[in-house]
Structure 1
Amino acid sequence: MSSIKTVAIVGCGIGRSHIVEGYLPNADKFKVLAICDLNTERMNGLADEFGVERRVVNFDDLLTMDDIDIIDICTPPGVHYAMVMAALKAGKHVVCEKPLVGSLAQVDEVIAQEKLSKGMLMPVFQYRFGNGIEQAKAIIDAGIAGKPYIGTVETLWRRGPDYYAVPWRGKWATELGGVLMTHAIHPHDIFTYLMGDVKRLFGRVATRVNDIEVEDCVTASVELASGALGSFTATLGSADEISRIRLAFENVTFESDHAPYSPGAELWKILPRNDETARKIAELLANWQHVAPRFQTQMARFHDALQGLGPLPVTSADSRRALELVTAFYHSSTSHEDVELPIAADHPKYQSWVPAAFRKA
């Protein structure tokens, strides 16, 4: 049986990046057989560009195609939940862009459905991959870094009226949130990936840059389960664009490359506290093998997981952790309270963090 997995791309926006960065560099592992989009002009343009013959307008048609292994969901966030659940119930493997779904209740339903389905689900957190973040993770996992002390995350990006001219952006019903959900979710995921689970969060959100429903500025103070502390700041009104992550551990301080959309790709600044730590790091990294950034490595490791050769590189549990932070942020900002994690089904925003005035009837 061929190890090449067949893919249907649903949504032609970020879906193009999945093809260019993820599937084409892994052409020995994946083949894109179908493109699906409601906008036939966009769909035909993408399909023509990459020589994909099968063009589908109705998402449900993909679920009955026996020669499609993977449904790759790249649609606006508001429709993720229904598509993920339908694809899992149809027995397909699923790749889904962030945010995976629109509430903790929905992510828990997805996790329950996964256990009943033969397909595997991989949410997308492509910023996790690349030489910089992988080296930091290796040093931490080897125990060299020691106890985590404190960390900061700055997501300083720029978005204006041209960005929000796309009809689904900036609206609660379709984007499900603003800078917290669509942009800073990546660097915040890197923080928890390296530093561990957040125990408490006190946050603020505001809309100061754009004339939109959702937030475009946020800040928070966090306490981790380990006892370490952290701070998150994000805006879509920065003059330049950087993603900056700085993490101070007992023996090492790390600082990310400041590239806004691929902070894990280039080598990070690694500052050992003493010569002995420097020696251990040098030994650990002596035979370092290059790790391609973003989608290329995430998709390659997804293929390994499908073949039973390794774990899923990103899981639904990772998405739940990210969405817990989102939920805590929104609740803290409206209640002016410190929010304790994990968040259970009796929490006021478990069913939805969307303000009541913007919820669908």
Structure 2
Amino acid sequence: MRATIVGAGAIAHAHAHALAKIDGATLTGVVDVDHERAKKLAEAFGATSVGTDVGAALAAGDVDVLHVCTPPSVHLDAAVAALAAGVHVVLEKPPVLSLAEMDVLLAAEAASSAALTVIVQHRFGAGAVRLRDLIARGALGRPLVAVCDTLWFRAPAYYEVPWRGRWETEGGGTTMGHGIHQFDLLLSLLGPWSEVRAIAARQARDTETEDVSMALVTFDNGAVASVVNSTLSPRETSVVRIDTERATVELEHLYGYDDSHWTFTPAPGDDDAADLWVPDASAPESGHLGQLAPTYAAFAAGEPPPVSGAEARRTLELAAAIYRSAFTGETVRAGNIGPDDPFARSMEGSGAPWAGTPSEPPPGPAPAPTGRAR
């Protein structure tokens, strides 16, 4: 299958490296508004076609799969154009800026002979596959309590890139752009969520969007989870922990994991539970290849990809619910955000509490104490 990547920035290299290892897949084209950047990526991976216009690349008729690796604000147009041309689409996350855009995308897929998928590579690591199976067949008992932390650090200079930190171009802040990786993994393990209560704040970065959010999420199966997303945390970590009736299973990593990043702790007195977790030292690190290899196999066979657009929408709906709860103070239940809701049209919804006010500058040194302590 012939692949074209649109958007030749950093994440495009992860796609190109994965494509190089998939039998029957060939990177043949690169498209970017910066022709030189497109040319460099094409030369590095042997692609023969270089351009600056997605429409022209699709019109040439030699694209089977379009990988959309651009900033989020231009995902929708590229994906819809590809689906209209009968070209499969692989979207980086966040897939689009809003639930309304996601519904446009799903309608375009329904009218197409091609399929859509969204990159959620953490679902495909060996540990996640193993844990998903154990939970699904009830081997660990009921899931009860979970923690999902994305504690990352992005310096102010990170947000000097014009499209970052803006509702219109990035869709949201750390919830949409960073935490979505981990809470998508959590959803894949625990299943559908039922309600959310959340807060969000702009603590330190000069952005329109939040730089921290915290949510309490209840799942259909009764499990409860805390979800924390931050770009203000100097000791960076990504954590998913699930406490079940028979064990605690923890994953701590940063941007990717292998089996050594997992910890399995049986409940006291349940000695047999330890036998349920069998690590695989040879398992590769989670990454794009783990998802793209079975995705290309599905495309080639005319079958649905392992992650559907509908699944990606459920993750996006959780992000929208976090924003809606944080900005309105209300508990948001799954399905509450209908097509006429402002939070369906934009993650900003009715407006962030800090909208129109400048971010606070970092505090200076504390003043020297004066007078007598009380």
TM (norm. structure 2) is 0.88
Counterpart residue number, 1:80: 75
Cα shift at 1:184: 0.2
2:44 equivalent to 1:57: no
- Quickly say closer, same or farther: Cα 1:142–1:112, change in 2 above 3 A: same
Counterpart residue number, 1:15: 12
Counterpart residue number, 2:363: none
Cα shift at 1:347: 3.3
Counterpart residue number, 1:211: 206
Cα shift at 1:133: 1.6
Between the two structures, name the one with larger relative contact order (CA 8 Å, sep ≥ 6). Answer: 1
Q: Which of 163, 167, 170 in structure 1 is aligned with 2:162?
A: 167
- Measure, in 2, the Cα distance between the counterparts of 1:310 and 1:146: 33
Range with greater deviation from structure 2 (101-110 or 9-18)? 101-110
Cα shift at 1:264: 5.9
Cα shift at 1:195: 1.0
Contact 1:99/1:319 (8 A) holds in 2:
no
Counterpart residue number, 2:20: 24
- Quickly say closer, same or farther: Cα 1:287–1:39, change in 2 above 3 A: closer
| 1:350 aligned counterpart, secondary structure | helix
Counterpart residue number, 1:187: 182
- Measure, in 2, the Cα distance between the counterparts of 1:356 and 1:62: 38
- Quickly say closer, same or farther: Cα 1:41–1:309, change in 2 above 3 A: closer
Q: Which of 28, 33, 37 in structure 2 is aligned with 1:38?
A: 33
Counterpart residue number, 1:350: 344
- Quickly say closer, same or farther: Cα 1:169–1:287, change in 2 above 3 A: closer
- Measure, in 1, the Cα distance between the counterparts of 2:182 and 2:111: 32
Counterpart amino acid of residue 80 in structure 2:
M
Q: Which of 278, 285, 294 in structure 2 is aligned with 1:301?
A: 294
Q: Which of 317, 324, 330 in structure 1 is aligned with 2:323?
A: 330
- Quickly say closer, same or farther: Cα 1:263–1:207, change in 2 above 3 A: farther
Cα shift at 1:267: 4.5
- Measure, in 2, the Cα distance between the counterparts of 1:290 and 1:115: 36
Counterpart amino acid of residue 58 in structure 1:
D
Cα shift at 1:272: 2.5
Larger Rg: 2
Which ranges of structure 2 fall in alignment gaps of 5 or more residues?
A: 353-374
Range with greater deviation from structure 2 (218-227 or 45-54)? 45-54
- Measure, in 2, the Cα distance between the counterparts of 1:82 and 1:287: 41
Cα shift at 1:18: 0.8
| 1:331 aligned counterpart, secondary structure | helix
Contact 1:203/1:329 (8 A) holds in 2:
yes
- Measure, in 2, the Cα distance between the counterparts of 1:49 and 1:338: 49
- Measure, in 2, the Cα distance between the counterparts of 1:174 and 1:188: 22
Kindly provide the CA deviation profile for residues 144-184 of structure 1, in whole angstroms up to 9, marking residues without a partner as x.
Answer: 11211010111110101221222211111111111000100
Contact 2:90/2:118 (8 A) holds in 1:
yes
Identity %, equivalent residues: 34
Counterpart residue number, 1:245: 240
Q: How many residue pairs were aligned?
A: 349
Contact 1:243/1:263 (8 A) holds in 2:
no
Cα shift at 1:52: 1.9
2:313 equivalent to 1:341: no
Contact 2:253/2:261 (8 A) holds in 1:
no
| 2:345 aligned counterpart, secondary structure | coil
- Measure, in 2, the Cα distance between the counterparts of 1:270 and 1:184: 23
Which ranges of structure 1 fall in alignment gaps of 5 or more residues?
A: none
| 2:343 aligned counterpart, secondary structure | coil
Counterpart residue number, 2:2: 6
2:255 equivalent to 1:261: yes
Counterpart amino acid of residue 315 in structure 1:
S
Q: What is the root-mean-square deviation in Å for CA atoms of aligned residues?
A: 2.2
Counterpart amino acid of residue 49 in structure 1:
A
Cα shift at 1:109: 2.1
Counterpart residue number, 2:372: none
Cα shift at 1:290: 3.3
| 1:162 aligned counterpart, secondary structure | helix
| 1:349 aligned counterpart, secondary structure | helix
Range with greater deviation from structure 2 (120-129 or 308-317)? 308-317
Cα shift at 1:265: 5.7
- Quickly say closer, same or farther: Cα 1:287–1:242, change in 2 above 3 A: closer
Contact 1:96/1:123 (8 A) holds in 2:
yes
Counterpart residue number, 2:355: none
TM (norm. structure 1) is 0.91
Q: Which of 272, 277, 282 in structure 2 is aligned with 1:276?
A: 272
| 1:62 aligned counterpart, secondary structure | helix
- Quickly say closer, same or farther: Cα 1:46–1:286, change in 2 above 3 A: closer
Cα shift at 1:286: 8.5
